[in-house]
Amino acid sequence: MGGKAAMLLVLGFSLIFLVFGNNFNSLTSRAVKNEASYYNETMAHNIAIAGANMVANAVFMDKAWDDGYFKLPYQGGILNVYITNPSGYNSKVTICHKPGTRAEHTISAPPSIKDTLLNNGDYLGDCRGTSMDPNLVLIYAEGIFPDPDKCPPFITPDTSVVYVKLQPSSFAKYGNFYDRMHAIPATGDTFDGYFHVNNTMKTWGHPVFLDKVTSKGGLVMYNTKNPEFQKGYTSGIDVKRPWDTTNFRKLGLNGGAVIRDTTKSGKRVDVEMEFKSDGTVKYRYRIFDGSPTWTPYKIQPLSDLTSNGVIYIERGNLYVKGTVRGQATIVVTKNNKSGCGRIFQTDDLKYNTDPTKDPSSNDMLGLVAEGNIRLVYNDDTKHHDIITQASLFSKNGSVGPDNRLVSNDGYLASWKILGGIIAHDVRVTAHYNSVGPYEGYKFVHKFDRRFLTRVPPHFPHAKNYEVVSWYE
Amino acid sequence: MGFSTLIDILGSTLIGGMLLLILLRLNDAGVQNNYTYGGELIVQQNLVDLVTLIEHDFRKIGYCADWKKLPDPTKYILEADSNSITFLTDVDSDGEVDTVHYYTGHTSELDNTPNPRDKLLYRVVNNSLPRGSNLGVTQFELVYYDDSGTKLLTPVTNPTKIMTMEINIKVEDVYGYDTSNPNKDDSEMYATAFWKQIRLVARNLNNR
């Protein structure tokens, strides 16, 4: 009897312990499963991020790189990165990857892995309703963790996707860009748009920078040492300005306009150009071939003169004014010929539709000179407020008024610029006393914010790409 | 009935009583542990769900399928405070810009739960009605840093300066064990889990 009772007691307690133990084990295993699930997700995500960074870096180092990675073992998982690069080395096939899922995306893949992808449900061509932007580099990075070939069958690997869009970094996105600065931003100066110096950044007192500021060298502050960087300052950023006239010439010859010495003896060419608010351009030119005479004026629609927007003036100078209706980038080169490569603004140069009043305005102008860009001293400019609406790019010179306009016969006027100034050096626009400018031109600059997403046609861009969109 | 029988009865009563006491204590401890461990599991699951959602949303600050609709990468955070944030993103990747607002409600909204510290974490997309589920959030703290790593005072007067952020989330069990017992200190009864993102860098923020 006593033995039976003891047995029942032992069995009863064992049953209770088993029930409790099972419950605790269940709680523990669910907690571990939860943790493992989050860990797998995080690892897959980190692998995808690493892949996107690796490829973005490869494209940054070599803008035509487009190898990608396929089934690359990484951190216990697998990494696939598909890259679409318009200037890439390799031939690729366009595939709709993972159709019908949230990760659905159009990718470019090497032909060697086409069958593998198609066997997994992908199909050839763009995904429905989408098309790839031919101007962008697209990176599709896929992290899979754990490695499906190595994990037990009861574990389903997690997949995480990152896709990144990169575009050539246009100089039009800068409000101010200088290779060096002989004049120092000082108290009373306000700078709109991105500001970059490929040198030491110097400030005097309390200048205000409304947008992000970057420089190659460090920051040196004078006087009260109180610059106001409203969107931050970062040093150590080197942005080179390549100068490739071959491409401009090619664009000019293929859909654009080319004005140069037609005798092909490399003579200087001066061009006068007036934009009209009806969308036409009135222009003439003269070739310095010993007896330079102006050709008769020619008037034609801007879109007829250049269908791709590029007007290329080789070994010449440009005198420009007017009201721009449409889009154009005028490139003026020096090509080692002295007295060439300059742009002179002779009167107001503005858009037909003012983008500050109507941001949907499609009027855009880029002025690109190998030398200086100058405001000319004449009856239309002296003693008058002047408007310049364009992004101004001077490769080796500066952007500013003529010497006589810096004094302006003792008058103080305003130079209202809407756009950007990208130049080798800074040029003064006025003479100052202890109060501020008293003669010349007050510099009233506003950045054209359309240039953050749209730029004048074929405006110069940096050698490298920049990330414009990152999905993770 | 002899003396030895009496000893047997007394002994068995004593042993049986001790076993009964052990059983009662075992039952009590088992129920408490079961409740506590269950609460910890729920807290952990809630935290993972919450963190997954927050990581999903915060990583996409400034993302839009049509990137040209968000041209200025410094203007993606509209409002930033220590326990609330409003930012621009594209929630469903349809190319349309959405506004997402995270903020915590007041503890008084959850007076019906024993935990005195829990509050709702609201996620409001565009102008939809504020909705939040009670996952036991007792702390949702955001810390912001500028490009030089300097901590920004909250509320951040100029959100364009934000480059990185730190996220602290504490989740507690909303029903602790034996919380109705007034003789116990409630603060020790609730299972707790804490998650911290030391530096979250939204890739689209100031990306160009």
Q: What is the pLDDT of residue A345?
A: 97
Q: Which of A385, A420, A387 is nearest to A405 (CA)?
A: A385
- pLDDT exceeds 90 at position B181: no
Backbone φ, ψ for residue A16 (5° rounding): -60, -45
What the block records as the tokens of B68 is 């040209």
Do A314 and A410 belong to one domain? yes
CB contact under 8 A, B41 and A30: yes
Within a domain: A113: yes
B130: exposed, middle or buried (Cβ count in 10 Å: 0-12, 13-18, 19+): exposed
Length of chain A: 472
**Closest residue of chain B to A19, computed from CA coordinates:** B30
Q: How far is CA A451 from the centre of its chain?
A: 9
Same domain, A101 and A175: no
In a domain, A165, yes or no: no
Report whether pLDDT(A106) > 70: yes
Domain count, chain A: 2
Residues of B in contact with A165 (CB under 8 A): 67
Residue of A nearest to B58 (CA): A472
The per-residue pLDDT for A288 is 87
In the predicted model, is pLDDT for residue A86 greater than 80?
yes
In a domain, A279, yes or no: yes
User: Do A288 and A149 fall into the same domain?
Assistant: no
CA distance A170 to chain B (A): 11
Q: Are residues A175 and A109 in the same domain?
A: no
Asked if residue A295 and residue A252 are part of one domain, the reply reads yes
Contact B207 A232 (CB under 8 A): no
B39/B29 Cα distance (integer angstroms): 15
What confidence score (pLDDT) does residue B183 get?
60
**Residue A309 has what pLDDT?**
94
Percent of chain A with pLDDT over 90: 56
Which pLDDT does position B42 carry in this prediction? 92
**Nearest-angstrom CA–CA distance, A459 and B31:** 73
pLDDT of residue A269: 94
- The mean per-residue pLDDT over the stretch A91-109 comes to 89
Q: Smallest Cα–Cα separation from A432: which of A202, A205, A195? A: A205
A118 and A58 within one domain: yes
Query: With bands split at pLDDT 50, 70 and 90, how would you rate the model's confidence at B93?
Result: confident
CB-based burial, A74-108: b 16+ in 10 Å, e otherwise:
beebbbbbbbbbeebeeebbebbbbeeeeeebbbb
Closest to B162 (Cα-Cα) out of A230, A176, A210, A466 = A230
Select the residue from B5, B204, B208 to test the A interface by mutation, using most A Cβ atoms within 10 A: B208
Which residues in chain A have Cβ-Cβ distances shorter than 8 Å to B32?
none
Interface test with A, best of B74, B162, B171, B200 (most A CBs within 10 A): B74
Per-residue pLDDT of A108-119, as tens digits, reads 999 999 999 999
Mean pLDDT of A379-402: 94
| Residues A175, A118 share a domain | no
Task: Answer whether residue A414 is part of any domain.
Answer: yes
Predicted pLDDT at A133: 78
B146: which chain A residues are within 8 Å (Cβ-Cβ)? Answer: 232
Shortest Cα–Cα distance, B206 to chain A (Å): 9
Residues of B with CB under 8 A from a CB of A: 19, 23, 26, 30, 33-34, 37-38, 40-41, 44-45, 48, 51-52, 59-60, 63-65, 67-68, 71-72, 74, 93, 146-148, 158, 160-161, 163, 203-204, 206-208
Band (B188; pLDDT cuts 50, 70, 90)? low
Contact criterion met (CB < 8 Å) for A232 and B51 = no
The reply to whether residue B19 touches residue A9, judged by beta carbons under 8 angstroms, is: yes
At B20, give phi and psi (nearest 5°): -65, -45
Which comes out higher in pLDDT, residue A272 or A61?
A: A272
Q: Which residues of B touch A28 (CB under 8 A)?
A: 37
Strands A461-471 and A69-74, by their bridges, are unpaired
Tell me which of A9-18, A109-118, B151-160 is least confident.
A9-18
Statement to judge: residues A139 and A175 lie in one domain: no
Q: Which of B8, B41, B97, B145 to mutate to test the interface with A (most CBs of A within 10 A)?
A: B41
Whether residues A175 and A125 share a domain: the answer is no
Asked if the model's pLDDT at residue A344 lies above 80, the reply is: yes
pLDDT tens figures, A130-178: 777 778 899 999 999 999 888 888 888 999 999 999 988 899 999 999 9
Cβ–Cβ gap B208/A169 under 8 Å: yes
Model confidence at A300, in pLDDT bands (50, 70, 90)? very high
pLDDT, residue B52, reads 92
Residues A433 and A311 placed together within one structural domain of the fold: yes
Tokens describing residue B90: 């594209």
> Is the N-terminal amide bond of B155 cis, ω within 30° of 0?
yes
pLDDT more than 90, % of chain B? 41
Q: What is the mean pLDDT of chain A?
A: 90
- Taking residues A321-344, report their average pLDDT: 94
Q: Is the predicted pLDDT of residue A64 greater than 70, yes or no? A: yes
Residue A329 has pLDDT above 90, yes or no: yes
A417 lies in some domain = yes
Residues of A with Cβ-Cβ distance to B64 under 8 angstroms = 469
**Which one of A108, A125, A156 terminates a domain?**
A156
Residue A337 lies in a domain: yes
- For residues B184 and A355, the model is more confident at A355
> Pairing mode, if any, of strands A137-145 and A158-170?
antiparallel
- Provide the pLDDT for residue B182: 63
User: Which among B38, B68, B206 has the least Cβ separation from residue A27?
Assistant: B38
Residue B184 has pLDDT above 60, yes or no: no
Q: How far apart are CA A377 and CA A218, in angstroms?
A: 37
* A248 lies in the same domain as A146: no
Residue A30 CB partners (closer than 8 Å, separation 6+): B41
Alpha-carbon torsion A215, A217, A221, A222, what sign?
Answer: negative
Residue type, B202: A
Which phi and psi angles does A438 have, rounded to 5°?
-125, -15
Q: In chain B, count H helices and then E strands.
A: 1, 7
Q: Is residue A226 part of a domain?
A: no
Residues of chain B in contact with residue A27, where contact means CB-CB under 8 angstroms, are 34, 37-38, 40-41
pTM of the model as a whole: 0.81
Minimum-distance CB partner of B59 among A9, A23, A472: A472
Is the pLDDT score of B71 beyond 80?
no
Neighbour tally for A236: CB within 10 Å: 9
Spatial distance between the Cα atoms of B76 and B58, rounded to a whole number of angstroms? 11
CB contact under 8 A, A467 and B203: yes
Task: List CB contacts (< 8 A) between A471 and chain B.
Answer: 60, 63, 65, 93
| A62's tokens | 């070599």
Among B52, B160, B208, the residue with its CB nearest the CB of A467 is B208
Whether B163 sits inside 8 A of A232 (CB atoms) is yes
What integer is the mean pLDDT of B47-52?
93
Phi/psi at B199 (5° precision): -140, 110
Classify residue A114: in a domain, yes or no.
yes
Judge: A211–B74 Cβ closer than 8 Å, yes or no.
yes
pLDDT at residue A161 in the model:
94
Looking at residue B160, its amino acid is T
Is the pLDDT assigned to residue A272 strictly greater than 60? yes
Task: Give the model confidence (pLDDT) of A428-471 as tens digits.
Answer: 888 888 777 888 988 888 999 999 888 999 999 888 888 889 99
C-alpha–C-alpha distance, residues A442 and A68, integer Å: 52
Look at residue A403 and give its three-state secondary structure: helix
pLDDT of residue B186: 55
Q: How many CB pairs under 8 A join A and B?
A: 87
Q: Residue A466: its chain B contacts at CB < 8 A? A: 207-208
How far is A364 from A449, CA to CA, in rounded Å? 12
List Cα–Cα distances, B152 to B147, B149, B185, in angstroms. 10, 9, 36
Please identify, among A124, A156, A188, the residue that sits at the C-terminal boundary of a domain: A156
Number of other residues whose CB lies within 10 A of the CB of residue A403? 10
Cβ-based contacts of B173 with chain A (< 8 Å): none
Is the same domain home to A451 and A340? yes
Q: What's the pLDDT band for A204 if we cut at 50, 70, 90?
A: confident
| pLDDT score of A263 more than 70 | yes
Q: What is the ipTM of this complex?
A: 0.85
Residue A281 is part of which domain span? 171-179+241-461
